[in-house]
A and B are shown apart, each in its own frame.
Chain A
């Protein structure tokens, strides 16, 4: 059997001519087979061809081999046999394709809008735009069953999202999550790019993951234009990515502590998060790392005095974080709240394809930095930290273990900053090519897929934020739990609304 997939490494170019076009049933079989053999659906998306037909692309990550398999199929008609009944990881991807390209996955168990966006292909403009959140929700009937609707406007200053609980007293039977309130049309804006604004838009896909998305984008552009960023730039990108992880992880640990009403850690971690953000600011002037990472390298250098100061600040923040975070596990009342709350089993985690700390908390060693290393991670390894139980406690512990590794990594990089230019000279982006670029951001795997047209412009730019994989995990984690534990579970995943909504 000739393989319908082209396999390669993270952030390497693939010429479209080398990528066979098979029919959709063959692609479906291929995906199912690879997922059966331990592969993971990293991306599944459509692209409108010139003749109006839809090309379906699939990216399967083989984490143990460090290979990314890309396959594509041209759809003869809008309907095809849905993957979801046999491969739960495809669930939201198929809903997304149905919404973006009007595809009809036959047999999809829960086909409904995912972002309430208008179709990507301009010739399928609907008469009226769908109303966000106006849809049928899964309902449990029964005399004692009641429904609780939360959001999209929440009591705290957080992003909008709608949560629909089916409850029996305090117990949750089912949670359905309805998003799309933050949809800004990012993928649409990238078509015909890279534009002048593209790199700035990438930095705002999810504001708290600026470095993660910027690196994924730059890796993609560099792969397509055959540019290798200088080693100093790679090291500085690694530092920015790990500082972002540190700031968010410590913020999450503080927020988890606040959610169970344990104040000391909550207050201290809020401050320490600021310390890490300020370290990023000392690199590039922006606390979120905006403007630092650019195609070809980085835009700001780290001077010798900055470097010495960073090392010093890192040591202080490390000590403070250790003091604040380890209080959590010294306090039995906190551990009692964390343990056995919002458990996602390992088998379920594999089935729905969770990524990031949520997957590692289930004991799965899944980390792009380790499995599909690119950039600095090809030369410097970060050990993969895992938990055991898949509950809130495990997700918290994984965050703390990862923080310690990240601090070590940043310290190492600062001690061994290579001397080299900051930018490689730009080159033309290859025409009729594609690349898959993955980055392990603090929330998990970011996957960007760029496909260029015959002029070397983006004809399709697909973004998969880790939240896209993990939102369903949160819904699963809530089954059989207390509704009062939802905020705690939610915080332990801490997913992005805008990263999902694009």
Chain B
């Protein structure tokens, strides 16, 4: 048990920067390029930490709070989600609500730190981010309700350990719907194509990137790390939804978990390579689709 907690914390802290590297390599492979090294983000983080920070004269402590709270919230959320172990290091009834609003809290401060700069770009980015987040949240929650209905547990560890074990044949269909819904949420929350383009340099099209244009040096390093952490935590939700980890041995579980989440990064990279970004006005439709999928999953279970 102790070992599992140590492994959990190690993976949560050290693995996230690997995922963007794998996505970048996958995209490069699709484009016929070699791409940056897989460990590029680790190097970038080391570089950012050594840099100085340029601050705008209009900013206040809120500007610092954004990235700091984003990373803190991500770290706390990461101990609530089960990774390779049978359950997460911290688990209590109702932690799904805490989990969701940790990210809402982080979003509040990131958006506030964007507004703090007074830049038109950052204001636009913040406006887009919060409007889309409001549509992504119901999809997440409806998915949690499905998990609760299937397992009777209202904690992440409980509902993600063996959601299909109830033996009801509707469970499979429901879980597939939730999986698709959550995958859309993952793409939206982590500013991936088709919702946002993490590679663009065009400020007017950015969502998440626009909010952090003024952050530099260690603060920007925190932003990068926070983004990778969030991808990892959301990825873990998806992986645990489908992976029958609880039945396997501890070593096999951890290996399977890490392999699957790396596989998920490859899938994200592949999707980014083969489809274009949605027009910004169409993004809400995609998110509403995610909500509807989760809602249908829930309806199936009430049949």
A residues apposed to B, CB below 8 Å? 146-150, 155-156, 169-170, 257, 259-264, 266-268, 271, 331, 333-334, 336-337, 341, 482-488
Knowing A148-B121, A261-B276 touch, does A170 contact B31 (C-beta < 8 A)? no
**Interface contact tally, CB-CB below 8 A:** 90
Q: A261-B194, A336-B278, A487-B202 are in contact. List 12 more A-B contacts (CB 8 A).
A: A147-B120, A156-B202, A259-B200, A261-B199, A261-B272, A261-B276, A264-B31, A264-B274, A267-B32, A483-B124, A484-B205, A488-B205
B33 touches A484 (CB 8 A): no
Knowing A266-B31, A482-B280, A484-B280 touch, does A259 contact B202 (C-beta < 8 A)? yes
- Shortest C-beta distance, A327 to chain B (Å), equals 10
- Shortest C-beta distance, A195 to chain B (Å), equals 39
| Docked pose: A212 CA to B89 CA in angstroms | 68
- Shortest C-beta distance, B211 to chain A (Å), equals 14
A-B contact pairs, 22 of them (CB 8 A): A146-B120, A148-B124, A148-B204, A156-B201, A170-B124, A259-B205, A261-B199, A261-B200, A263-B27, A263-B31, A264-B32, A267-B31, A267-B32, A268-B32, A333-B194, A333-B275, A336-B278, A336-B282, A337-B278, A337-B279, A484-B204, A485-B279
List the A side residues contacting B200 at CB < 8 Å. Answer: 259, 261, 487
B residues apposed to A, CB below 8 Å? 27, 30-33, 120-121, 123-124, 127-128, 193-194, 197, 199-205, 272-282
User: In this complex, which of A147, A262, A268, A485 has the most chain B Cβ atoms within 10 angstroms of its Cβ?
Assistant: A262
Main secondary structure of the interface of A (DSSP, over half): helix
- Shortest C-beta distance, B198 to chain A (Å), equals 9
List the A side residues contacting B275 at CB < 8 Å. Answer: 262, 331, 333
Q: Closest residue of chain A to B194, judged by CB?
A: A333
B280 touches A170 (CB 8 A): yes
A261 touches B193 (CB 8 A): yes
B276 touches A334 (CB 8 A): yes
List the B side residues contacting A336 at CB < 8 Å. Answer: 276, 278-279, 282
List the A side residues contacting B123 at CB < 8 Å. Answer: 146
Knowing A148-B121, A333-B194, A485-B279 touch, does A264 contact B204 (C-beta < 8 A)? no
A486 touches B32 (CB 8 A): no
List the B side residues contacting A169 at CB < 8 Å. Answer: 127
List the A side residues contacting B197 at CB < 8 Å. Answer: 261
- Shortest C-beta distance, B269 to chain A (Å), equals 10
List the A side residues contacting B121 at CB < 8 Å. Answer: 148
| Docked pose: A169 CA to B274 CA in angstroms | 30
Q: Closest residue of chain B to A148, judged by CB?
A: B120
Which of B202, B273, B278 contacts A263 (CB under 8 A)? B273
- Shortest C-beta distance, A489 to chain B (Å), equals 10
- Shortest C-beta distance, B106 to chain A (Å), equals 24
User: In this complex, which of A262, A263, A267 has the most chain B Cβ atoms within 10 angstroms of its Cβ?
Assistant: A263
List the B side residues contacting A337 at CB < 8 Å. Answer: 276-279
| Docked pose: A174 CA to B280 CA in angstroms | 19
Which of A170, A267, A485 contacts B33 (CB under 8 A)? A267
A155 touches B276 (CB 8 A): no
| Docked pose: A209 CA to B139 CA in angstroms | 51
List the A side residues contacting B120 at CB < 8 Å. Answer: 146-149
| Docked pose: A107 CA to B120 CA in angstroms | 34
Q: Closest residue of chain B to A334, judged by CB?
A: B276
List the B side residues contacting A485 at CB < 8 Å. Answer: 205, 279-280
- Shortest C-beta distance, A200 to chain B (Å), equals 32
Which of A155, A268, A331, A333 contacts B202 (CB under 8 A)? A155
- Shortest C-beta distance, B14 to chain A (Å), equals 29
- Shortest C-beta distance, B34 to chain A (Å), equals 11
| Docked pose: A483 CA to B210 CA in angstroms | 14
List the B side residues contacting A334 at CB < 8 Å. Answer: 276
- Shortest C-beta distance, B206 to chain A (Å), equals 8
| Docked pose: A390 CA to B151 CA in angstroms | 56
- Shortest C-beta distance, A149 to chain B (Å), equals 7
Closest 7 CB pairs of A and B: A267-B31, A261-B277, A487-B202, A262-B276, A260-B276, A333-B276, A261-B197
